[in-house]
Amino acid sequence: MTYCVALKLDNSLIFMSDTRTNAGIDNISVVKKMFTWSEPGERVITLMTAGNLATTQAVVSLLDERSKAPKDRNPNLMHVPTLFQAARLVGDTLKEVVSTSASGGPTSNSPFGATLIMGGQIAGMAPRLFLIYPEGNFVEATDDTPFFQTGETKYGRPIILRAFDPSMSDAEAIRLLCVSFDSTLKANLSVGMPLDSHIYETGSLREGRMFRINDTDPAFSQISTQWGHSLRTALDSLPEYPVPAKTS
Amino acid sequence: MTYCVALKLDNSLIFMSDTRTNAGIDNISVVKKMFTWSEPGERVITLMTAGNLATTQAVVSLLDERSKAPKDRNPNLMHVPTLFQAARLVGDTLKEVVSTSASGGPTSNSPFGATLIMGGQIAGMAPRLFLIYPEGNFVEATDDTPFFQTGETKYGRPIILRAFDPSMSDAEAIRLLCVSFDSTLKANLSVGMPLDSHIYETGSLREGRMFRINDTDPAFSQISTQWGHSLRTALDSLPEYPVPAKTS
């Protein structure tokens, strides 16, 4: 499994992904799931991957190769005119990899699919955020739901639903994501530290602040511990449900 | 989907289940998923069902019929000597119903399976809680994890992991369950009000307080609203994550 979240704030795009990959519960590794392509002043595109690791690595390698190849190799991620075209390119690449793996040859019990989150900005245009399916099609984040999750989305979703606000600051958003990831890490062993993060500042058109949160990170630990206390305090301060008295 | 939770407290067993059943998103109904058999002073057994409705209704009907039939129809839920035997009886009945549905005849895309939570007490013995699988086998709640969830378990699990304590009062436990169900109701349309609840007081050997929480219940609404506020306040009071400054 995996857990990735992207938030579209008023002034930034924020990405966070875990780094655990597993082939069975007895075979786990640390793998980066967040990738950024940028040409300062012109475009920044960040991709987060969830799903079959062979598939996602192939997709990233293909996108990467094509973006570095001679200019005539079009379309490529560094030259598509819009983020919509970028999402289509990524979707087509994903579909191509999945189809190649799935057709002919030996079959596998584990699916070849992957789900990707792609966001960024191209000069002169607004920042955009897309969720790309294994079938190659995709949806875009809107003002009604300006965030996407992939992988093990459920444990960490209620707090995002309750507390996310596009006007929050970057630091507040990172704190919210720490809490959302903390709930997920506590509940699903296939989501694991460290966490990768990228804060892209809207309009900057260059890579933003990128950092990794390790399992020994004192700030993360403090947020996790204090969140546990705060939840219990919050629960204690709720009105009690008036349980009916026993009638018989 | 469904959401059911049973908690084993020091002095009680607490059961809560939603009541939504659906065959497709355009066909929903209210169905009770909590069933109690009791002989005052001798035994109380509560069952909560999740899964295929035809399967769970057949299981409950079979258990019910057999428990009301002449004494020689053994084993039956009202006469098995221990709760372990009761869990085995329920498991065997479930397995029998699933096998009958699944073998021969037309097949279906939706699985015939169901997962059940069974808890209660028989005179002279400790209260026990079991989770029963579609295959008919089962596990028992232990002191390390003295609760079970079935159905849409993930959204409502983090708060239980964080806040559940077997020494909490019945009212505190119901409040915790209200919060856990509230998160689930907000995230999954296939879990729906009203909620059924049963608080069995250990040692009482009679049906405990049973009540239904409707979607117009002012106490539940207040808990839900205040929980939203409390979460945001708790989040705001956490230390901020020290995001590294931009280096380039």
CATH architecture of A3-231: 4-Layer Sandwich (3.60)
B234 to A227: CB separation less than 8 angstroms, yes or no? yes
Q: For residues B69 and A125, give the distance between their C-alpha atoms in angstroms, rounded to a whole number.
A: 74
Asked whether A180 and A159 are in contact (CB, 8 A), the reply is yes
Asked whether B72 and B59 are in contact (CB, 8 A), the reply is no
β-pairing, A3-8 vs A12-17, is antiparallel
- Report the side by side order of strands in the sheet with A195-201: A147-151, A3-8, A12-17, A195-201, A209-213
- Give the DSSP H or E segment for A120: strand A114-122
**Helix/strand/coil for A145:** coil
Rg (CA), chain A: 20
B239 to A248: CB separation less than 8 angstroms, yes or no? no
Q: What are phi and psi of A125, to 5 degrees?
A: -125, 165
Q: For residues B48 and B59, give the distance between their C-alpha atoms in angstroms, rounded to a whole number.
A: 11
pLDDT at B75: 81
Query: What is B3-232's CATH superfamily?
Result: Aminohydrolase, N-terminal nucleophile (Ntn) domain (3.60.20.10)
pLDDT at A247: 60
Q: What are phi and psi of B102, to 5 degrees?
A: -85, -20
| Residue A114 pLDDT > 90 | yes
B241 to A206: CB separation less than 8 angstroms, yes or no? no
pLDDT at A19: 96
Per-residue pLDDT reduced to its tens digit, B84-114: 999 999 999 999 999 888 777 766 666 789 9
| Residue A179 pLDDT > 80 | yes
DSSP state, A27? -
Print burial letters for B180-204: b (CB count within 10 Å at least 16), e (below 16).
bbbbbbbbbebbbbbbbbbbbbeee
Give the model's confidence band at B217: pLDDT under 50 very low, under 70 low, under 90 confident, else very high. Answer: very high
Give the model's confidence band at A70: pLDDT under 50 very low, under 70 low, under 90 confident, else very high. Answer: low
Question: How large is the ipTM?
Answer: 0.85
Average pLDDT estimate for A212-221: 96
In B167-240 the beta strands, taken as DSSP E runs, fall at 195-201, 209-213
> What does pLDDT average to over chain A?
93
Q: What are phi and psi of A75, to 5 degrees?
A: -75, 150
For A243, the closest of B209, B241, B248 (CB atoms) is: B209
| Residue A15 pLDDT > 90 | yes
Q: In the structure encoding, which two tokens stand for residue A176, read together?
A: 């919210």
Collect all residues of chain B within an 8 Å Cβ-Cβ radius of residue A207.
248
- Backbone torsion region of residue B100, taken as left when φ is above 0, otherwise alpha when ψ lies between -120 and 50, otherwise beta: alpha
Find, in chain A, the residue whose alpha carbon is nearest to that of B239: A223
Q: In the structure encoding, which two tokens stand for residue A143, read together?
A: 């003002």
Residue spans per domain, chain B? 3-232
**Helix/strand/coil for A41:** coil
Per-residue pLDDT reduced to its tens digit, B150-159: 999 999 999 9
Which of these, B8, B40, B210, B37, lies nearest to A246 by C-alpha position? B210
CB count within 10 Å of CB B49 equals 29
Give the model's confidence band at A196: pLDDT under 50 very low, under 70 low, under 90 confident, else very high. Answer: very high
B230 to A220: CB separation less than 8 angstroms, yes or no? no
Asked whether A152 and A2 are in contact (CB, 8 A), the reply is yes
Q: In the structure encoding, which two tokens stand for residue B179, read together?
A: 């919060």
pLDDT at B109: 63
pLDDT above 70 as % of chain B? 94
Find, in chain A, the residue whose alpha carbon is nearest to that of B187: A158
Q: For residues A65 and A59, give the distance between their C-alpha atoms in angstroms, rounded to a whole number.
A: 10
Per-residue pLDDT reduced to its tens digit, B181-204: 999 999 999 999 999 999 999 999
